[in-house]
Amino acid sequence: MTVFLTEEQLAHRTSAAVDAAVGAGRELGLTVTDAEVLHDVFSVVVHLAPAPVVARIPTVLPYREDLDALAVRRRAELDVTRWLADRGTPVIPPSPLVPPAPVRRDGFSITFWQFLQEDRGKEPDYAANSESVADLHAALRDYPGRLSFLSTAEPRFVTESLVRLERHPDLLAPADLDRARREWQVLEPLVRSRPAFQEAFPGIDLQPVHGDCPPANIFSGVDGDRYADFEMVTLGPVEWDLATLGPDLEAAYNRGARRNGMRPLDADVMRFVNTVGMLRTLAHLILAPQLPPLVDYLKPSVERWRTMPFAGGLAT
């Protein structure tokens, strides 16, 4: 049976991440006396009060994720958000009070962001958010930095997780695991290879995309909405940012695309990204020992995946 972290162990991890962020912030010259945890799921997000700085510390990670690989992704996130902010795109920017680079401390990788006051009374409007993702894509098209193709799909993580889940039938039933592996055999080559993807989907342009469900990662600030959490930024089709969200939010995105003079979402690519997104979700069950609520949180996704066509109908 799977062994999960206890409440005491989870609290210790959070405390250690906060201590690392406070220590790193002070070493960088920040005055920190009242650190406040704002968010604690896959990352600990802490306001280093009274400094107007927020530290983000990833804590739930694939077992082979090392700090060097993590730092590469964090640098890409910092570079993209700083570039967007400099051009007036509404994002949560890196803090101007510290160097824009990830910091290592006590086994954690830490990045620092500008503190913005949240409008806690505002309910998210996912249709409006999805429409605005087209504005973000229009802004990202000219980003000059180098990004890897579909790195956000995390193909190595998916492959290894589907192997490791064989030892955890309480997390994913053997029949489900068998189907997931067979689907991944079909789709993995298109995830790992840009030429293979382009052969399968001719005429589909690639560009920088947010990578991590931007309609759900829009921060409601008292001064307006901001795009946030670019830690999975990647090169890919725009469809990736709408994966698994359903036809209503796809239609909302298409309204924004028309407004920006961009193409609508492609139905074949949507089937591809929806299935890859679901397989990536299943792979995240292997992280449940580090984050026990994941089991119940992901159950609806597993049930929905069971109703979907095999490999998105892309298998021949």
Structure confidence at residue 314 (pLDDT): 87
- Which segments of 74-193 are extended strands (E)? 103-105, 108-114
Please tell me whether residues 197 and 101 are part of one structural domain: no
Cα–Cα distance list, 245 to 42, 63, 265 (Å): 20, 28, 13
Structure confidence at residue 315 (pLDDT): 77
CATH number at residue 90: 3.30.200.20
Structure confidence at residue 193 (pLDDT): 97
Please tell me whether residues 283 and 221 are part of one structural domain: yes
CATH number at residue 178: 3.90.1200.10
Structure confidence at residue 64 (pLDDT): 65
* Distance separating alpha carbons of residues 215 and 242, to the nearest angstrom: 8
Structure confidence at residue 68 (pLDDT): 84
- Decide: pTM greater than 0.75: yes
Q: Which structural domain, as residue segments, surrounds residue 9?
A: 1-115
Which of residues 61, 83, 115 is at a domain's end? 115
Per-residue pLDDT of the chain (316 residues; tens, 9 = 90+): 799 999 999 999 999 999 999 999 999 999 999 999 999 999 999 999 999 999 999 999 987 667 888 889 999 999 999 999 999 999 999 999 999 999 999 999 999 999 999 999 999 999 999 999 999 999 999 999 999 999 999 999 999 999 999 999 999 999 999 999 999 999 999 999 999 999 999 999 999 999 999 999 999 999 999 999 999 999 999 999 999 999 999 999 999 999 999 999 999 999 999 999 999 999 999 999 999 999 999 999 999 999 999 999 987 6
- CB contact set of 203 (below 8 Å; sequence gap of 6+): none
Please tell me whether residues 53 and 136 are part of one structural domain: no
Q: Specify burial of residue 16 (Cβ count, 10 A radius: 0-12, 13-18, 19+).
A: middle
Q: What is the dihedral of CA 97, 120, 15, 6, to 10 degrees?
A: -150
Per 3-state DSSP, the chain is made up of helix, strand and coil in percentages (nearest 5) of 50, 15, 35
Please tell me whether residues 8 and 28 are part of one structural domain: yes
The count of domains in the chain is: 2
Cβ atoms of 210 and 241 within 8 Å: the answer is yes
Which of residues 115, 148, 182 is at a domain's end? 115
Please tell me whether residues 204 and 288 are part of one structural domain: yes
Which of residues 61, 88, 115 is at a domain's end? 115
